[in-house]
């Protein structure tokens, strides 16, 4: 016997088959029988981008499993392999709970029962954010640190800053890494309110704002069973709810084994669903997670409706809306030492950075968020910091007072 993992808009499910010798047609029949998804409405692929398809014409691009006579063994699929499934319409789930009569001839419904009926958790198909585009330098600086310095052994996170277009496209131009403590499975942010004021003042001058949160998963996490763990869902929901930004993005950096047995760094981006944020804001999530709790399930304080069942544990995938990822070259560099890492920024680092490109105008040399944050601690946060950042945004000459301060700082080492 062989087990295949099937990920669809409904989350992660499993299908049992006789072995890898079966054909695609036979697999679809098994899916229809075991998951109650009509054969004619199924589109299967080994490509996770299938879950991003929004129209029937988009589905036509995924042809790797379109041949009904193709054997799974020819694609090196075996026990535990992951396949992606898109389907149209609704599905009927077998084995739902027996109907309990309510009202004058049966059990009376309480107020909590009525509220739970309204809290119906379904897969949200459409995100409020059309796409997220990462500045190549800031994305590379983050992934290089978690890969080369941390070896994906502990978690690391940062707030993403950039812009949101009228069409709902998010562009990330820098990542601020707050004080934090990362372990194999948890990320504790030790946020510094004064530092965050300086960060927001810089963003204001640059015409940017906080647009999301990025973190890495560790090699110790068993990511084959879930996309985000229950702890990660809680943290992502908390930060999303705090932001009040409809287009807020949660991004994940992970290490995945490739076909050659090597490891590739991989980025994924999501939005937490509207229902997830509502449940978090209204206090439905159990926020205490024990060591024996299943990481792929989020616990609720009261029952919610998933499919036709009243449950107190929800598959985390129901709370995720996948977003496509793009990249671009933004206006800032990311070569100055990054805040709150083991190697601290110093006056000598400032001098080295400025001397590296002496032929360029000063405004070009300070067009680095991490440098601006270092300098900002010596400036007035309400006036000087946004003014200096605005010079960077406009690429206009740095006023003499600011220029003298920066040069004197660099020369004190």
Last residue of a domain, one of 328, 359, 394: 328
Calculated CA dihedral for residues 379, 383, 385, 391, nearest 10 degrees:
-130
- Residues 61 and 168 occupy one common structural domain: no
Measured in degrees and rounded to the nearest 5, phi and psi for residue 51 equal -70, -10
* Domain count of the fold of the chain: 3
- 252 belongs to a structural domain: yes
- Res 315 pLDDT > 90: yes
Q: Are residues 286 and 358 in the same domain?
A: no
CA-wise closest residue to 285 among 314, 306, 320: 314
Q: Looking at residues 22-36, what average pLDDT do you find?
A: 93
Mark which of 68, 87, 106 sits at the end of a domain. 87
Please report where in the chains the tokens 């400036």 appear, as a residue: 379
Q: Name the residue among 197, 269, 194 with its Cα closest to residue 236.
A: 269
pLDDT of residue 397 exceeding 80, the answer is yes
51: domain CATH number? 3.10.20.90
Q: Are residues 279 and 161 in the same domain?
A: yes
d(CA 398, CA 392): 8
- Shared domain for 158 and 188, answered yes or no, is yes
CB 166, CB 127: distance < 8 Å: no
Dihedral sign from CA coordinates of 364, 204, 334, 129: negative
CA atoms within 13 A on the CB side of 154: 10
Q: What does the DSSP 8-state code read for residue 336?
A: S
Instruction: Let me know if residue 41 belongs to a domain.
Output: yes
What is the number of H-type helices and E-type strands within the chain? 12, 16
**Mean pLDDT calculated for residue range 106-126:** 68
Judge whether residue 299 has pLDDT over 70.
yes
Within this chain, do residues 166 and 260 fall inside the same structural domain, yes or no? yes
The CA distances from residue 326 to 57, 103, 321, in Å, are 21, 54, 16
CA distance 192 to 179: 7
Judge if 312 and 361 occupy the same domain. no
242 and 290 together in one domain? yes
Length of the chain: 413
Q: Are residues 385 and 293 in the same domain?
A: no
At residue 93 the predicted structure's pLDDT band, cuts being 50, 70 and 90, is low
- Answer yes or no: is 395 within a domain: yes
**Listed residue (50, 75, 58, 212) closest to 131, CA to CA:** 212
The reported pLDDT for the residue numbered 370 is 98
Q: Across the chain, what does the average pLDDT equal?
A: 90
340 falls within a domain: no
Tell me which of 87, 102, 132 is where a domain ends.
87
Residue 58 vs residues 6, 55, 86, 130: alpha-carbon distances, Å: 20, 5, 11, 15
What whole-number percentage of the chain has pLDDT above 70? 92
Band of pLDDT at residue 54, cut at 50, 70 and 90:
confident
Q: What is the pLDDT of residue 96?
A: 42
Which of 72-86, 207-221, 353-367 is predicted with the least confidence, judged by mean pLDDT? 72-86
Report, as an integer, the average pLDDT of 353-361. Answer: 94
Mean pLDDT check: name the lowest of 75-79, 90-94, 111-115, 319-323. 111-115
Q: Do both 264 and 375 map to the same domain?
A: no
199 & 251 share domain: yes
Residue 320 domain-assigned (yes or no): yes
Phi-psi region of 65 (alpha: psi -120 to 50; beta: other; left: phi over 0): alpha
Distance of alpha carbon 219 from alpha carbon 294, whole angstroms: 18
Return d(Cα 157, Cα 306) in angstroms, integer. Answer: 31
- Count the Cβ atoms, other than its own, within 10 Å of residue 322: 18
- Tell me whether residue 364 is in a domain: yes
Both 233 and 307 in one domain: the answer is: yes
Long-range contacts, 336-339 (Cβ 8 Å, 24+):
336/368, 336/370, 336/371, 336/374, 337/370, 337/374, 338/141, 338/145, 338/177, 338/370, 339/176, 339/177, 339/195, 339/370, 339/373, 339/374
Weakest mean pLDDT among 82-96, 342-356, 357-371: 82-96
Evaluate whether residue 217 is within a structural domain. yes
CATH classification at residue 162: 3.40.140.10
Which pLDDT value is given to residue 103? 37
State the virtual CA torsion across 376, 382, 388, 391 in degrees, nearest 10: 150
Supply the range of the domain harboring residue 37.
2-87
Nearest to 398, CA basis, from 357, 362, 345? 362
154/49 same-domain check: no
Q: Considering the domain boundaries, does residue 338 fall inside one?
A: no
Give CA–CA dist 367/271, Å, rounded.
30
């Amino acid at each position: 016997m062989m087990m295949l993992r099937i990920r669809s808009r409904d989350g992660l499910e499993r299908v049992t088959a006789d072995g890898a010798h079966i054909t695609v047609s036979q697999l679809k029949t098994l899916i229809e029988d075991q998951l109650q998804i009509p054969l004619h409405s199924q589109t299967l692929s080994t490509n996770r981008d299938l879950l991003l398809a929004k129209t029937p014409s988009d589905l036509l691009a995924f042809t790797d499993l379109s041949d009904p006579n193709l054997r799974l063994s020819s694609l090196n699929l075996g026990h535990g392999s992951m396949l992606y499934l898109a389907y149209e319409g609704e599905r009927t789930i077998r084995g739902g709970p027996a109907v309990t009569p309510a009202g004058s001839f049966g059990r009376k419904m309480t107020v909590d029962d009525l509220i739970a009926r309204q809290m119906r958790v379904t897969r949200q198909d459409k995100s409020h954010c059309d796409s997220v585009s990462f500045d190549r330098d800031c994305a590379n600086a983050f992934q290089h640190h978690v890969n080369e310095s941390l070896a994906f052994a502990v978690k690391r996170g940062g707030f993403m800053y950039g812009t949101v277009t009228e069409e709902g496209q998010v562009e990330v131009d820098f990542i601020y890494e707050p004080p934090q403590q990362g372990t194999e499975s948890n990320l504790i942010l030790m946020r510094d309110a004064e530092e965050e004021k300086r960060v927001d003042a810089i963003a204001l001058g640059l015409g940017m704002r906080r647009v999301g949160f990025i973190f890495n998963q560790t090699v110790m996490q068993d990511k084959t069973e879930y996309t985000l763990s229950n702890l990660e869902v809680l943290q992502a929901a908390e930060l999303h709810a705090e932001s009040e930004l409809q287009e807020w993005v949660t991004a994940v950096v992970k290490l995945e084994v490739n076909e050659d047995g090597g490891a590739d760094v991989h980025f994924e981006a999501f939005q937490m669903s509207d229902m997830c944020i509502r449940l978090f804001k209204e206090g439905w999530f159990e926020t205490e997670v024990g060591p024996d709790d299943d990481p792929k399930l989020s616990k609720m304080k009261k029952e919610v409706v998933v499919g036709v069942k009243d449950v107190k544990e929800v598959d985390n995938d129901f709370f995720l809306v996948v977003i496509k990822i793009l990249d671009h070259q933004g206006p800032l560099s990311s070569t100055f030492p990054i805040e709150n890492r083991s190697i601290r920024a110093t006056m000598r680092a400032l001098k080295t950075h400025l001397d590296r490109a002496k032929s360029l105008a000063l405004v070009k040399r300070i067009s680095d968020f991490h440098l601006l944050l270092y300098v900002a601690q010596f400036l007035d946060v309400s006036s000087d910091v946004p003014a200096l950042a605005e010079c960077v945004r406009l690429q206009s000459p740095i006023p003499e007072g600011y220029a003298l301060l920066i040069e004197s700082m660099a020369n004190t080492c």
